[in-house]
Structure 1
């Protein structure tokens, strides 16, 4: 029998699952599987992958249960745990010049101030890590158990440029680390947060070239512009990209995409929607994004949304029951949604008012919808007296109807005196919310 540690606390037990049948409950602690201590989510997932195993559970009253688990092919255990490990999150030790957490004011959701750099979150949730804070045994564990895919913040291939960006001497070890991961055939999705004067120009071109050379291990290279808030006291002086600079970057980027598509069958390097908005360019076709591997990073969202919108637009009737809808978005997305609303203008009975919210909370240089707060929306929309308003899901915490300023959708509803609808970032969901109709068919994956 293993020596008892804290274990992982059960957060959710799914109805009708094996876990429920075995009377596992929220608050129970999973201590061991087949005699091996459970120290983190990797242990848990790896050791419960078998069809038969013995789980040691500590109940709320202190009782220890040894539970024999047997399951059929494809049958899931049906539980989720609270924490990534018994020791909590592995936190970031970098001091990046562009760190968004360092640019946030007080009074926001507490979890937003956690600077995580945990490879286990990268594996299980797609969070980006830098590799600069990994202990040697952790890196060996990644290689040994072939933990894949990993999402890695590269920023710059050149060691000097990366150290300058991240203010951590260990940041210069990246090229060696990536080579080892590629040799182990671990799939990598990389991102480059682009900062004027730090890692653009020749540094960017070199970074993209070196990452492309690691294909097929490197499956995607996302390039996103630096995000700057008004809360930058005592931080390095940075500036956003100009429209002309954004156009120049995209022009080079399209040339790289053509080369990679010819060589690999994939565009491989992708640019965030924000870059196209900054440049004033139309968004590319969905074919440019291959499998949308970095959708959650704001890469390809607009193109996918537009494609789904056009798919389902033709299924709408020309007359709908009288309906007034207020669409709330940020500065960057306003031209995009204004065009979509124009396409709906011929539908009788439907009235849509577009509200462009400027970001007073973070500063006017922040223009994406996902960083809007309930306070700014309430102050700028005003009283809409019972009418419907649409809240893009991207504005809210993943598992709660809470904005970045820790205010709820219910609070905003009371402030506006309106009826909120939280809408997924999908063309079909948008049309259904706007019209109040149910549309048949599936959106693209």
Structure 2
């Protein structure tokens, strides 16, 4: 057993923060060798019970904060090198940068090299779980799954399905793409900490036949994820309306093919209406909010007020490479700005602890992994970060003056980046 002593942040089932300025986190392997949280709470209340256990190793981290590992609900690992590419909007950005770059992932050696860098960058930024797009090439899935398995990371990823309106090099064949998807599900889903995601790129790049086949696979393999994009950009929505005129809305395209259910995650969800939001709630479909990407591509803003009123499940996502940073702190900063713009009209703003929850326990709930990841309550897998609130002179000066948890978290959200992450620890089965 390992006993960590530091400040400690975790979340109650209702999403409220639980904080101990002098905390104890006890971690030990379960019967299968998977490290899990045994106890979490105040040092004073728990130290007599755990510190003196035979073989217990004490790790004292004065001045540090232990918090759940961050969960990134939507990211594209093949777009690692597309970050910062200038474009006039989503569709030109895909055409000029994303598709040409993704065409290189047929080469397994190249895919391995990007996957290695990508995962190292996630861990450097404190991200311990992500729902990740690969490319249309099966080799790209094998690369990210193998690299994640080597690191003991929890990872959900999938081969992109795109059999039309896509250039040579990334366009797949309708039937073969579905065969490849099923083969990859059988190969990777449920192996160690890995999960598969059925991944239509977005409705415009899939024929009805491909989406129908994806829905059939989603019905056959009920515990895999479904991962795609919806209602990000107004030009995209007009395009979908032309391609699928029978659908009530962009989101309804996916619903018509059986692609809305628990463990279905749709990125962006900006231009939804009330009927769409009600449909997401009823089907337990979740939204991945990507504020830096939405700002970068001028797509629009996720509507927190209407999402909360509808009872929508959601969590935060970097959306690299449309997103501008791997850092959860940059994502939370942008989410605060977007939320502030909307909430200010009602005299409200997003609370710092709620922003943090969106990137940890809230994202885990939206992914169907509540109580497994994204938190440090007993029984959770022991994925966590060690944060140094004094990692820069400005942060040291600011955090020394904070008088509440909200002030501490907000200082790190506004002023923080990857330098806050001193260690990232994943619950790897031994």
TM-score, normalised on structure 1? 0.37
TM-score, normalised on structure 2? 0.38
Which protein, 1 or 2, shows the higher relative CO under an 8 Å CA cutoff with sep ≥ 6?
2
Structure possessing the higher radius of gyration over alpha carbons:
1
More helix by share: 2
